[in-house]
Copies of this chain bind each other. A is one copy, B any other.
Amino acid sequence: MEKFTITITREFGSLGRSIAKELSRELGVEFYDRDIVEEVAKQLNLPVSTVSDEEEKSKHSFLPRMFPLGTDETYIQDIIFDVQKGIILDLARKSSCILVGRCSDYLLEKEKNNINIFVYAPYEKRLENCVNTLGMTESEAKRMIVSVDKARNAYHKKYAGYLPGDPEHKNLMIDSSLLGVTGTAKLIAEIVNQLYGES
A92 at interface (Cβ–Cβ under 8 A)?
no
Evaluate contact between B172 and A174: CB separation under 8 angstroms.
Answer: yes
Interface residues of A in 160-184 (CB under 8 A from B): 165, 167-168, 170-175, 178-179, 183
Task: Looking at the assembled complex, report how far the CB atom of A56 sits from the nearest CB atom of chain B, in whole angstroms.
Answer: 20
Copies in the complex: 2
Across-interface contacts of A170 in B (CB, < 8 A)? 173, 175
Across-interface contacts of A76 in B (CB, < 8 A)? none
Q: State which of A61-69, A148-156, A190-198 sits at the interface with chain B.
A: A190-198
Evaluate contact between B172 and A191: CB separation under 8 angstroms.
Answer: no
A122 at interface (Cβ–Cβ under 8 A)?
yes
Known contacts being A172-B174, A173-B173, is A179 close to B167, with CB within 8 Å? no
Evaluate contact between A194 and B179: CB separation under 8 angstroms.
Answer: yes
A41 at interface (Cβ–Cβ under 8 A)?
no
Evaluate contact between A173 and B167: CB separation under 8 angstroms.
Answer: yes
Residues on A lying within 8 angstroms of B by beta carbon are 115, 118, 120, 122, 165, 167-168, 170-175, 178-179, 183, 187, 190-191, 194-195
